[in-house]
Structure 1
């Protein structure tokens, strides 16, 4: 396995109306190429959010930002930089976390969600000791999570995110 030292190169998406923060681990190779979150065409993140917000599936970065911000959703990743082999979360080592505590201090975020077990574990290890705010763990939207078909992801995410989306 070939490891690369990689730094996150795009900003979190949030505004003053963000109430929900969804955290991933670190951008995949495709997301790094596209310079935006969940850029792999097989990742179901945008399909899940479009279904839950009853919005059309966004086709470009501006549409994705609009979907997030219109619905009070902020998106970021736990990791600022790390060593990683390709896009494999299981290969992540030498983690430098993002300053999520600073983001939380400057927003109205009420609930934090971790997109998958690895994002949850990394948050609990590196961020929770600082913030004291525990995230809710959601099943990963990654194509690697074959146990969850799209319909099951939408249902599971809906039970957790739904109440927060209707607070507008």
Structure 2
């Protein structure tokens, strides 16, 4: 069944953020939890742990709560949000997204050190190019965007190790130190 969905929670970022990671729209599990990538089978947080967790500091892990995950992301200069502020969608199916209204990412790009936008998945990339790029171009904001594979369980073809390599390459390009 198609539902109209509002994003429901704001971005995670600060002035020291260097990479802005944008999904399309939070899944029902993420909207329920009020935070990003909260489906237990989504591999986003395992990827972030592989890239950033300090093996010498057992407390440097994403954890399971929105508070611990936000702190982990910010500690490692990662900002989080989504391309879409609202849309019509069936469950968590990106392919079903219609009537998408974009978030305004310009304040994050102007107020931080973000030098790279990473979109997670094909639909997020398509929506970014269609809805956000023209606005940024008109505002004279020229931050590059890279489309990376989705960490969603729906993208079962991508192994965790392959996701870690792809995300690690992108973060290194933005000058963010990673473990791999």
Is the 2:121–2:149 contact (alpha carbons within 8 Å) kept by the matching residues of 1? yes
Mapping of residues 1-168 of structure 1, within 5 Å: 2-54=1-53, 55-132=60-137, 133-163=143-173, 164-166=175-177
Is the 2:115–2:144 contact (alpha carbons within 8 Å) kept by the matching residues of 1? no
4+ residue runs over 6 A deviation: none
Q: How large is the Cα RMSD of the aligned pairs?
A: 1.4
How many aligned residue pairs are there? 166
In structure 2, runs of 5+ residues without a counterpart are 54-59, 138-142
Is the 1:124–1:134 contact (alpha carbons within 8 Å) kept by the matching residues of 2? no
In structure 1, runs of 5+ residues without a counterpart are none
Q: Distance in 1 between matches of 2:65 and 2:123?
A: 27
Q: Distance in 2 between matches of 1:151 and 1:74?
A: 22
User: What is the TM-score with the length of structure 1 in the denominator?
Assistant: 0.94
CA deviations on 1:20-51 (whole Å, 9 max, x unpaired) are 10000000000011010001000000000010
Offset at 1:68? 0.5
Offset at 1:102? 2.6
Aligned to 1:95, what secondary structure does the other structure show?
strand
Offset at 1:162? 2.8
Aligned to 1:141, what secondary structure does the other structure show?
coil
Offset at 1:70? 0.4
Q: Distance in 2 between matches of 1:92 and 1:134?
A: 24
